Structure 1
């Protein structure tokens, strides 16, 4: 078994402005770097066997900051293309008001990646990552522990995929720098729901939930985007 801790990247200026990022490569701001360091302090309570990251700079820099805190060299971070954020097509760069104006109601957003397609690339990538580490471990050794720095849309998709009966996991906020623990068992990914106190402590009260920052995701919860 391998424990996989998915960490959402720190804040960017687009997060703060509630602009939809998706595959657009927006860097961390200073608040985001502080959030990544805070996550690193929490994760430093454990020992880790590796760090993997999305290729987008906001996720990779989050991983590099965490790596420094937990004692892993930044050069050892494994970049996995399939962990990139969900693509939002023509909605990328839009804020709440602009999305409502251009794509009102249930209007489809051209180029938006279906959540099933996100799951189809992310879940196998996590399974393959875990299996590589498991193959290299001596028999009888403790479970591997891996940190994966990625994105809100990816984490939301994994949550929905591994436990679809709890639709959208509305009670689990995905704030910048938050940690969400899963495990790999026999080729599948399972949710470890707040079994580790790091998960709870990583969700900061002063941070906005991913679904509140992303009007497309908010709409998929069954609500219209907030127009401010």
Structure 2
């Protein structure tokens, strides 16, 4: 018998820092008014779906997105493995102040000044996905997370991005991306 896990992933809605092209990483920035409306729209895309589990990054922007898209549920599981990449000293800078493309290209930014490497982030996200695969067979799961996590998940499910540049997998704020595990 084939077992399947459907994963629905909502990227958080817009923040002022998204609008200003600032690198957020682990800095806890809330949604702006546009982001709140985007989260409500994302909720319409999952309306009527029954989820067996809901996971959310512990950062404010994802918690707010989860609230506006899904609702307030005491069973939401907050998991640090699906929070955004730690960008180290680059957090708070605008993308044009750093080599942002190189930072998301495998093998080019593997130093301490940049915080978490792609390899470290991948290990964290894959650990989460392995746990889902082991514990949620034949289930529908909702995640509310970040662009970086979704890029890593796309590489996991679809293979390395073109030119090893993960920005080729970047999704828009409050988008809903689906993945499925098939055994």
Number of residue pairs matched by the alignment? 170
* Correspondence for 2:175 among 155, 175, 178: 178
Question: Matches of 1:10 and 1:109 in 2, distance apart?
Answer: 29
- Give the conservation status (yes or no) of the 8 Å contact 2:13–2:35: yes
Question: Matches of 1:170 and 1:18 in 2, distance apart?
Answer: 14
Taking structure 1 as reference, are residues 97 and 111 closer, same or farther at Cα in structure 2, changes over 3 Å only?
Answer: closer
TM-score (norm 2): 0.82
TM-fit CA distance, 1:172: 5.1
- Give the conservation status (yes or no) of the 8 Å contact 1:63–1:77: no
TM-fit CA distance, 1:181: 0.9
Taking structure 1 as reference, are residues 171 and 92 closer, same or farther at Cα in structure 2, changes over 3 Å only?
Answer: closer
| In the alignment, structure 1 residue 29 sits paired with structure 2 residue 26 | no
Question: Matches of 2:67 and 2:158 in 1, distance apart?
Answer: 30
Question: Matches of 1:171 and 1:78 in 2, distance apart?
Answer: 29
| In the alignment, structure 1 residue 9 sits paired with structure 2 residue 12 | yes
Q: Where in structure 2 are there 5+ consecutive unaligned residues?
A: 100-107
RMSD: 2.4
Larger Rg belongs to: 1
| In the alignment, structure 1 residue 148 sits paired with structure 2 residue 178 | no
Question: Matches of 2:160 and 2:132 in 1, distance apart?
Answer: 26
Partner of 1:55: 58
Taking structure 1 as reference, are residues 74 and 127 closer, same or farther at Cα in structure 2, changes over 3 Å only?
Answer: same
Report Cα offsets for 1:158-206 as digits up to 9, x if no partner: 21233225424766550000111112334xxxxxxxxxxxxxxxxxxxx
- Give the conservation status (yes or no) of the 8 Å contact 2:151–2:170: no
TM-fit CA distance, 1:94: 0.3
- Give the conservation status (yes or no) of the 8 Å contact 1:51–1:67: no
User: Which structure exhibits the higher relative contact order, with contacts defined as CA atoms closer than 8 Å and separated by 6 or more residues?
Assistant: 2
